[in-house]
Amino acid sequence: MVHNLVLFAHILGAFGLIAAYTIEAIGLRGLRGATRRDEALLWLRISQGIVMRLAPASLGVILI
């Protein structure tokens, strides 16, 4: 039973980590295509905000 819960948490953390990398890549792609300062700041905030919320997933993958 405990093994199943740990395995579930590990897989969930891996999905979170993949989501964080994907969102960061999308944000960096938008940042690269930005031509004005306000566009760049928008992409930077989107990327940074979401990745910082999903960062604990990497900790979950490492610890579990």
Instruction: Give the confidence band of 9 by pLDDT, cuts at 50, 70, 90.
Output: confident
pLDDT at 37: 92
Instruction: Give the confidence band of 4 by pLDDT, cuts at 50, 70, 90.
Output: very high
The pTM of the full predicted model, rounded to 2 decimals, is 0.68
Dist CA 11 CA 4 (whole Å): 10
Which residues fall within 8 angstroms of residue 51, CB to CB, at 6 or more apart? 20, 23, 24, 27
Dist CA 45 CA 23 (whole Å): 12
pLDDT at 61: 67
pLDDT 10s digits, 17-64: 888 788 888 888 988 999 999 999 988 888 777 777 777 766 766 666
Query: 26 exposed, middle or buried (CB, 10 Å; 0-12, 13-18, 19+)?
Result: middle
